[in-house]
């Protein structure tokens, strides 16, 4: 075994307050609004002394980051999570001296109004499914070196189609037992992240539009494989939204196997399935424009949640 003798040095480092659960109620009128968030802050910069000497002189405590996150929910509001995240990231870079870049990751849990007498109730909601809206914002540098990246997204969007999906003609080897199929259930729990080319957009309209575009392709494409479905979903989004530079998709193939009822002399024409929750094929693809602007550190994750 090679014995290494090189000097030991500090590598890349960053720090912040992860997973602040911020619930913001807007109660200016009797009809309240709710935003339910999980917010993480992450700062990069010259924090070498803290690691090398235990010197905290340049370290803004993670507790202060947390207090800022909560206070900004009132001071700046969270009308759009993208703008709230940008305000936080810009503040840390512009107002906290050693910070060279800041990343704000936000998950948003969606609530739906309870219907009473045919109308959405003013101050009572139920949580909407598993779906989570996400944003990851990175602000780096100042002046003419300033860079800002906004990555919108969603995760845990569970979607299933009961036909219109095939998988055949695949490579085989001595271990291949899978039968080709021209009619199967296709289901996944989608994670998608799309990178904007600018820090301003019609955030909610774009989110709804991208979500609808991906679901329309999932539903209508006669799929030869989940890989093809992901690419076509991504392509449709880029075709429709010229201000999206790239989109990354991750989809577990939630397998549904037709249950063997022949043992009981009962036909099963893709009517009864066993839903296998694991193992799952995990298919991941990115779709991008050849002229996409540089992503810099936009995709470097922090908590892994976004």
Q: Which is nearer to ligand URC, 101 or 253 (CB)?
A: 253
CB of 237 to ligand URC, least distance (A): 20
Nearest C-alpha neighbor of 54 from the set 113, 7, 10: 10
Q: Which is nearer to ligand URC, 18 or 230 (CB)?
A: 230
Binding mask 226-265 for ligand URC (x = CB under 6 A): xx-------------------------x------------
Stretch that binds ligand URC, among 17-25, 97-105, 223-231, 268-276 (CB under 6 A): 223-231
Total residues in contact with ligand URC, by rule CB under 6 A: 7
CB of 55 to ligand URC, least distance (A): 52
Determine the 3-state secondary structure of 160 from DSSP.
Answer: strand
Give residues with Cβ within 8 angstroms of 281, minimum separation 6: 226, 252, 253, 255
What residues pair up with 135 in beta bridges, in sequence order? Answer: 106, 152
Q: Which is nearer to ligand URC, 149 or 167 (CB)?
A: 167
Q: Which long-range contacts (CB under 8 A, 24 or more apart) does 57-63 make?
A: 58/97, 58/98, 59/15, 60/92, 60/96, 60/99, 62/15, 62/16, 62/17, 63/17
Q: Which is nearer to ligand URC, 164 or 281 (CB)?
A: 281
What are the φ and ψ backbone dihedral angles of 71, each rounded to 5 degrees?
Answer: -65, -40
Q: E-strand spans in the chain?
A: 20-26, 33-45, 99-116, 119-140, 147-161, 186-196, 244-253, 256-258, 273-275, 281-288
CB of 219 to ligand URC, least distance (A): 16
Judge contact between 72 and 87, C-beta under 8 A: yes
Judge contact between 137 and 148, C-beta under 8 A: yes
Stretch that binds ligand URC, among 64-72, 100-108, 109-117, 224-232 (CB under 6 A): 224-232
Judge contact between 60 and 13, C-beta under 8 A: no
**Residue selected from 42, 69, 139, 225 as contacting ligand URC according to rule CB under 6 A:** 225
CB of 283 to ligand URC, least distance (A): 6
Q: Which is nearer to ligand URC, 85 or 252 (CB)?
A: 252
| 190 near ligand URC, judged by CB under 6 A | no
Q: Which is nearer to ligand URC, 65 or 253 (CB)?
A: 253
Residue with CB nearest ligand URC?
A: 226
Give residues with Cβ within 8 angstroms of 105, minimum separation 6: 39, 40, 42, 134, 135, 136, 137, 301, 302, 303, 305, 306
Q: Residues with catalytic annotation?
A: 17, 62, 255
4 vs 263: CA distance, rounded Å: 63
Q: Which residue has the tokens 């979903």?
A: 233
- CA angle at residue 134 from 141 to 203, to 5 degrees? 80
| 178 near ligand URC, judged by CB under 6 A | yes
Binding to ligand URC in span 105-144, by CB under 6 A: none
Stretch that binds ligand URC, among 15-23, 102-110, 117-125, 225-233 (CB under 6 A): 225-233
Binding mask 24-53 for ligand URC (x = CB under 6 A): ------------------------------
Contact positions vs ligand URC (CB under 6 A): 167, 178, 225-227, 253, 281
């Amino acid at each position: 075994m090679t014995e290494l003798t090189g000097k030991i040095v500090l590598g890349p480092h960053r720090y912040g307050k992860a997973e602040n659960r911020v619930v913001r109620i807007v109660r200016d009128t009797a009809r309240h609004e709710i935003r339910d968030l999980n917010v993480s802050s992450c700062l990069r910069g010259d924090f070498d002394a803290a690691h090398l000497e235990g010197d905290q002189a340049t370290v803004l405590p993670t507790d202060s980051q947390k207090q800022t996150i909560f206070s900004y929910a009132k001071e700046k509001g969270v009308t759009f999570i993208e703008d709230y995240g940008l305000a936080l990231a810009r503040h840390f870079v512009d107002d906290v001296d050693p910070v060279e870049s800041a990343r704000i990751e936000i998950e948003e849990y969606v609530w739906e109004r309870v219907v009473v007498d045919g109308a959405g109730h003013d101050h009572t909601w139920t949580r909407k499914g598993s779906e989570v809206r996400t944003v990851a914002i990175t602000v780096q540098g100042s002046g003419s070196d300033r860079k800002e990246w906004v990555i919108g997204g969603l995760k845990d969007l569970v979607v299933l189609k009961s036909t219109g999906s095939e998988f055949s003609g695949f490579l085989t080897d001595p271990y291949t037992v899978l039968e080709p199929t021209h009619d199967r259930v296709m289901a996944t729990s989608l994670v998608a992240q799309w990178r904007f080319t600018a820090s301003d957009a019609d955030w909610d309209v774009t989110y709804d539009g991208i979500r609808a575009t991906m679901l329309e392709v999932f539903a209508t494409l006669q799929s030869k494989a989940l890989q093809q479905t992901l690419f076509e979903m991504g392509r449709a989004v880029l075709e429709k939204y010229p201000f999206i530079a790239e989109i990354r998709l991750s989809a577990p193939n939630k397998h549904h196997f037709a249950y063997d009822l022949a043992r009981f002399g009962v036909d099963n024409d893709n009517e009864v399935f066993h839903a296998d929750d694991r193992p799952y094929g995990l298919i991941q693809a990115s779709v991008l424009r050849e002229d996409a602007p540089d992503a810099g550190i936009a995709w470097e994750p922090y908590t892994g949640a976004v």
